[in-house]
Amino acid sequence: MKEVPLACGGATGRLHALDAARAAMMLLGLVLHAAASYITTPLGDAWPYRDAHTSAVLDLPLFVIHIFRMPAFFLLAGYFGALLYARDGLEGFIRNRLRRLLLPLVLFAPPLAILVGTGFLFAITRGTGSTVADVVGDHRDGAVSLMHLWFLWFLILYCATAAVVLFVARQRPAATGAAASVLRRAGSRLLAPAVWIAVTTLTLLPMPTPAIDGSTSLLPPLRTLAAYGAFFLFGWLWRRSQMPLDSWAARCWQRCAVGAGATIVYLWVLIARPVTGAWAHPIACALMAAAMWCLVLGIIGACVRYGGRPRPWLRRLSDAAYWIYLVHLPITIWTVGALARANWPAVVKFMVVVTVTSVVSAGTYFIWVRSSVIGTLLNGQRRMSPTQEGAPA
């Protein structure tokens, strides 16, 4: 596979640019959750507390980040999954996914559920003056929620599907070899953004609104699995097609500009409603799909173009990102609750929440977790030098 050396970490094989991009997508989740209590748009059961102080200034960044963050994350997860399979084989791929995805989900979900649930209870009672009994009664539905860990469950489902497909393919080597040959020859056409914009448009059509539904359920809707699964599949095929990383770097800013334009038109279509009737939903879905793919490929391309050189501080932050994302939500919501009665502007509260959450979650990683058993579980065995490590999962 011919790849631009800066993006791969030279001869070491470390995909510094993509590793940093994936970490950035995870860390942006902290920003989204810190802003969720202070935006003017109600989020319903997805975020049951809204502060008395809100600001429309936070709505647009939250919306734009939401467009590309998880699609980019699943695309990169697919790429790294294919890379892991190529490096370790099917058995190694399965062992790694069980250790790095399923085990953290099983270990972290129960304590985080308690901390997040009590954190929302704390914030709602302080911010609204409701009693504990009233809050518990209003939100008692008995459903199991994976909270922000839903992304781990989705990855587990995608990787399990990939493992089954790979196992079946291994039983038919002749057909697999022919399919791989076709994939290599058709790689550039198959990975054309227009193809995947069309695919994502189709996955968005069943959605009640022209955006990807969220789901924290153990049984997520098939439409949501399909929508994010398209990005995972693209990332996997990108790696298997042997298309070089720098193929996305050359036009990264043009793609970002087109994505921004599609986002503006999408908002105009939703707000001004120039199109009504049967065509309104498909057009909005197509615009959202275009915005997603152009922003995702543009941002990843920019990371490949400018972020390929190994930087120790960036490597350490990338290592910390998994832990930060796992533990940040209870810190965020408890901080939001502590500020509930403060008569401060929403933007100031948001900045305080981001700062406190970042310092506490990153500090615990570097002080206690990095060299612990948990650090090894999340990031694998640390080597003598970061540049000696292979591509992460």
Q: Which of 77-86, 126-135, 293-302 has the lowest mean pLDDT?
A: 126-135
Q: Is the pLDDT of residue 183 over 90?
A: no
The tens digit of pLDDT for each residue in 345-385 reads 999 999 999 999 999 999 999 999 999 999 999 987 665 44
Q: Is the pLDDT of residue 250 over 90?
A: no
| Nearest of 340, 263, 256, 336 to residue 299 by alpha carbon | 256
Cα–Cα dist 385/121, whole Å: 44
b/e map 344-368, b = 16+ CB within 10 Å: eebeebbebbbebbbebbbebbeee
The predicted pLDDT at position 224 comes to 96
Cα–Cα dist 321/378, whole Å: 10
The predicted pLDDT at position 307 comes to 78
Cα–Cα distances in angstroms (integers) from residue 19 to residues 36, 118, 134, in the given order? 26, 34, 45
The predicted pLDDT at position 116 comes to 95
The contacts of residue 125 (CB under 8 Å, 6+ apart) are 131, 132, 135
Q: Which of 4-8, 70-74, 244-248 has the lowest mean pLDDT?
A: 4-8
The tens digit of pLDDT for each residue in 364-374 reads 999 999 999 99
What is the pTM (predicted TM-score) of this model? 0.89
What's the pLDDT band for 138 if we cut at 50, 70, 90?
low
Of residues 193 and 283, more confidence is placed in: 283
The predicted pLDDT at position 311 comes to 81
